[in-house]
Amino acid sequence: SKTTHTWVEKAAILFGHGSKSIRWIPTDDENKMDNKILSQTIQQDLKDGYQPFMVVGTAGDVSTGVVDNLKEVASICKANNLWFHIDGAYGAPAAIIPELKAMFKGIESADSIALDPHKWLYAPLEAGCTLVKNPKHLIDTYSSHPEYYNFSKDEEGQSLNFYEYGLQNSRGFRALKVWMALKQIGSDGYKKMIAEDIELSELLFELAKNHPELEAMTQNLSITTFRYVPSKNLPWENEKKEEYLDTLNEILLDRLQQGGEVFLSNAIVKEHYCLRGCIVNFRTSKKDIEEIIDIVVKVGGKTHHELQNEGQLNSINSN
């Protein structure tokens, strides 16, 4: 969908298809991929003589954390004999939470899943992972056996060489830190920590919702989006008001990041520039969340006052 991470475009260019080969599918009111438009787009491409070969579903989109209707996407892929890939770089680990089983229904039908352990498995940078249902596809694609490759074999006469599963030949032992964390924390530990992150994100949403100078926008998985909305001295006309709020929140975010007290990122939600808080650190506490609210309101008020003095508000009102 249009919310999928930009890696898709890089991959299309890298493998020679070109960025024009990508079909960015619009999202519905819940920010999920519009599967009706997906089906229509596939059929139109076939009619026009093109050959679709893969659909990318999202398990936790980069801006708001929304999970596509993966079960429905899987059915569309099966009906059209398409490879079903899931971008779960951020959100896939949350599938371990029993209460979220329905949200991730269909993830088991994927041909491949991408996830980043350095995101929600708490591993240090960098650690990327691709899970493939049938690893033979990787071997058929990447394996080569020149005469100067002579590797020892196990008791069954085979050898496991990871260069046969991807583009990279020589590589460091990046998997070690992931394996050690899995052994140390275990599935129960991950369930507990991931659930706590989600609870903190929900708390952030509720605190923003109940604050007179904040507008809570979305909350999914451990991502909350919201924006600072001053209680007074805003443009009268709605269009100019929204233009000013976008400017205000963009400048506010820069100042928050430069200030060093809190690190938020941004998201565009329903054409509004928003602040984005993504909780993926097991050390984050309730106190941290409460302080985020205080800092945003404090810096937001100061920024709003300075913009007024600089004539930004009058400039928008006069346009």
Q: Are residues 127 and 205 in the same domain?
A: no
Q: Are residues 286 and 314 in the same domain?
A: yes
CATH code at 73?
3.40.640.10
* Contact in structure between 83 and 31 (CB atoms under 8 Å): no
Fill in the amino acid letter for 215: E
pTM recorded for the entire structure: 0.90
User: Which of these, 209, 243, 212, 241, lies nearest to 225 by C-alpha position?
Assistant: 209
Q: Are residues 108 and 146 in the same domain?
A: yes
Domain assignment of residue 142, yes or no: yes
Q: Are residues 112 and 221 in the same domain?
A: no
**Rg of the chain, C-alpha, whole Å:** 23
**In this predicted structure, what is the pLDDT of residue 1?**
85
- Backbone phi and psi for residue 143, each to the nearest 5 degrees, phi listed first: -70, 140
Q: Are residues 24 and 172 in the same domain?
A: yes
Q: Are residues 63 and 76 in the same domain?
A: yes
Q: What is the mean pLDDT of residues 292-297?
A: 98
Give the range among 32-36, 141-145, 231-235, 312-316 with minimum mean pLDDT: 312-316
- The encoded tokens of residue 185 equal 């924390």
Q: What is the mean pLDDT of residues 101-119?
A: 96
Among 147, 164, 183, the domain boundary falls at 183
Among 183, 214, 231, the domain boundary falls at 183
Residue range 183-228, pLDDT digits in tens = 999 999 999 999 999 999 999 999 999 999 999 999 999 999 999 9
Q: Are residues 136 and 222 in the same domain?
A: no
**In this predicted structure, what is the pLDDT of residue 313?**
56
- The encoded tokens of residue 287 equal 């106190």
Size of the chain, expressed as the number of residues it contains: 319
**Domain extent at residue 289:** 186-318
Band (49; pLDDT cuts 50, 70, 90)? very high
* Contact in structure between 91 and 98 (CB atoms under 8 Å): no
Band (312; pLDDT cuts 50, 70, 90)? low
**pLDDT top residue among 167 and 214:** 214
Q: Are residues 179 and 266 in the same domain?
A: no
Residues pairing with 113 in the sheet: 86, 131
**In this predicted structure, what is the pLDDT of residue 314?**
58
Q: Are residues 153 and 278 in the same domain?
A: no
* Contact in structure between 68 and 102 (CB atoms under 8 Å): no
In this predicted structure, the answer to whether residue 2 has a pLDDT above a threshold of 90 is no
Among 151, 183, 215, the domain boundary falls at 183
Residue range 224-250, pLDDT digits in tens = 999 999 988 777 777 889 999 999 999
Domain assignment of residue 1, yes or no: no
For residues 6 and 168, give the distance between their C-alpha atoms in angstroms, rounded to a whole number: 21
Residue range 23-42, pLDDT digits in tens = 999 999 899 999 999 999 99
**In this predicted structure, what is the pLDDT of residue 317?**
53
Where do runs of H (alpha helix) occur along the chain?
7-14, 35-47, 70-80, 117-120, 136-142, 175-209, 238-259, 286-309, 312-318
Domain assignment of residue 192, yes or no: yes
Domain assignment of residue 231, yes or no: yes
Q: What is the mean pLDDT of the chain?
A: 92
In this predicted structure, the answer to whether residue 21 has a pLDDT above a threshold of 70 is yes
**In this predicted structure, what is the pLDDT of residue 207?**
98
Give 16's Cβ-side CA count (13 Å radius): 0
For residues 258 and 284, give the distance between their C-alpha atoms in angstroms, rounded to a whole number: 20
- Please report the sign of the dihedral spanned by the C-alpha atoms of residue 37, residue 43, residue 46, residue 48: negative
Give the range among 40-49, 88-97, 258-267, 308-317 with minimum mean pLDDT: 308-317
CATH code at 202?
3.90.1150.170
Q: In what order do the strands lie in the sheet with 214-220?
A: 214-220, 223-228, 272-278, 265-269
Domain assignment of residue 119, yes or no: yes
In this predicted structure, the answer to whether residue 151 has a pLDDT above a threshold of 90 is no
**In this predicted structure, what is the pLDDT of residue 275?**
98
Spatial CB neighbours of 282, under 8 Å, sequence gap ≥ 6: 122, 193, 196, 197
Q: Report how many domains make up the chain.
A: 2
Domain assignment of residue 129, yes or no: yes
Q: Are residues 191 and 172 in the same domain?
A: no
In this predicted structure, the answer to whether residue 159 has a pLDDT above a threshold of 80 is no
Domain assignment of residue 275, yes or no: yes
Q: Are residues 145 and 98 in the same domain?
A: yes
Spatial CB neighbours of 145, under 8 Å, sequence gap ≥ 6: none
Q: Are residues 155 and 293 in the same domain?
A: no
Domain assignment of residue 2, yes or no: no
Q: Is 87 exposed, middle or buried (0-12, 13-18, 19+ CB in 10 A)?
A: buried
